[in-house]
Structure 1
């Protein structure tokens, strides 16, 4: 499967971003974020998967927004526990909506705690590895991707944290290493912005063109 591209933290110009047809568009429902949105635009094309980003939100709020905005995936960017995710999954099954994928986010600084990740394998469809920083995402800084060389779990993961056009060469190199065996795609945010939540269409186009050119080699193995 070819690796996927997700543009996250979209607030001010979602229609422009959608016109570039990324695989996923992420909308942040965390009111302490400068990229916070209260709703998802109705004109997002059906072929683009909509992702809701939540931080320690109530189960009821996540289910309500998933149902209201047709979210295909839920990205949990807070301190959510295994028990929380189990309850969330149960609530989705009880509701009259398609159950979305659930992605658990882990911030990485100078080590990867495999044991901590293993506890979440049974309740997570994918992991997302971001740079641990002052903010819960959108810090614009990469972490040492070679920390993932010991990742031996079965759950596919997103690579995030400070990825922009300048990092695409390194992404391609990394994708061909053993550490990228379960790499599902890359998550882009602050490096393609004019200001928080306002995406730079030109930068996204250049990055996506570069990314699409390499899709045949950037493959999840």
Structure 2
């Protein structure tokens, strides 16, 4: 049911804004550690940015597993989200260190869900996102009807261009493995600065 979906807000960049988001009915907060992203936390982020009581997700693209483990330990991450060409072995190394692993897959009309099979034993969730050159954050949706072709047993997060008016459509998806939604650019006033009113509206409509 939609009211049971996990809500992840990704691209947290500002401490005060993070505190406002954290006060909402959200489950996970995402922090991007990928330099080319407009939502990159920066080389010297404010320490308060990570002082969240909600579970934290570190987002990486083709980063070394041991670098990820070091950051996860120092910053108290509970989850890692991998958006590059990471293999099942890398995912397994992270999972063996008690991290929950989300593996992102870029979606377009040509995507073959068989690509997810090798990861079934080494991740906790898949994340299906719109295919872009930027590894996410495009603000564009993919064709959600493609999800009907996913027959795997690993739960997944829906990502890519979700906006404040999409709650009703998400509730109609009714896919048995849909575990959560990943909210980002569709709820921003500028990259990394989340619009609290839009988030509140969406969460209310999704949960009611």
Work out the number of aligned pairs and report it: 200
Q: Partner residue of 1:95? A: none
Hey, what does 1:44 align to over in structure 2? 52
Mapping of 1:79-94 within 5 angstroms?
79-90=85-96, 92=97
Give the Cα–Cα distance (whole angstroms) in 2 for the partners of residues 148 and 14 of structure 1: 31
CA contact (8 A) 1:15 1:43 kept: no
Counterparts of 1:36-185 in structure 2, within 5 Å, are 36-38=40-42, 41-45=49-53, 48-90=54-96, 92=97, 99-175=98-174, 180-185=175-180
Structure 1's unaligned 5+ residue stretches are 93-98, 214-221
Query: How far off its partner does 1:42 sit?
Result: 4.4
Q: Rate the CA distance shift 1:118–1:42 in 2: closer, same or farther, 3 A.
A: closer
Q: What are the superposed Cα offsets for residues 127-166 of structure 1, whole Å, 9 maximum, x if unpaired? A: 0000002311111111111111121111000001011112
> TM-score w.r.t. structure 2 length?
0.90
Unaligned runs of 5+ in 2: none
Q: Distance in 2 between matches of 1:148 and 1:209?
A: 24
Q: Aligned pair 1:209/2:204, yes or no?
A: yes
Kindly indicate whether the alpha-carbon contact (under 8 Å) linking 1:140 and 1:163 is maintained by their aligned counterparts in 2: yes
The CA distance in 1 between the partners of 2:72 and 2:50, in whole Å, is 13
For 2:51 and 2:36, the matched residues in 1 are separated by 26
Post-superposition offset of 1:51: 0.7
Q: Is the 8 A contact 1:127 1:158 kept in 2?
A: yes
Q: Tell me if 1:187 matches 2:189.
A: no
1:8 to 10, 13, 34: 10
Contact 2:168 2:206 (C-alpha < 8 Å) held by counterparts? no
Root-mean-square deviation over aligned CA pairs: 1.6
State the shift of 1:56 in Å: 0.7
Whole-Å Cα distance in 1 between the matches of residues 201 and 95 of structure 2? 38
* Displacement after TM superposition at 1:212 (Å): 2.1
CA shift, 1:10, in A, is: 1.1
> Following the alignment from structure 2 to structure 1, what is the Cα–Cα distance between the partners of residues 88 and 178?
22
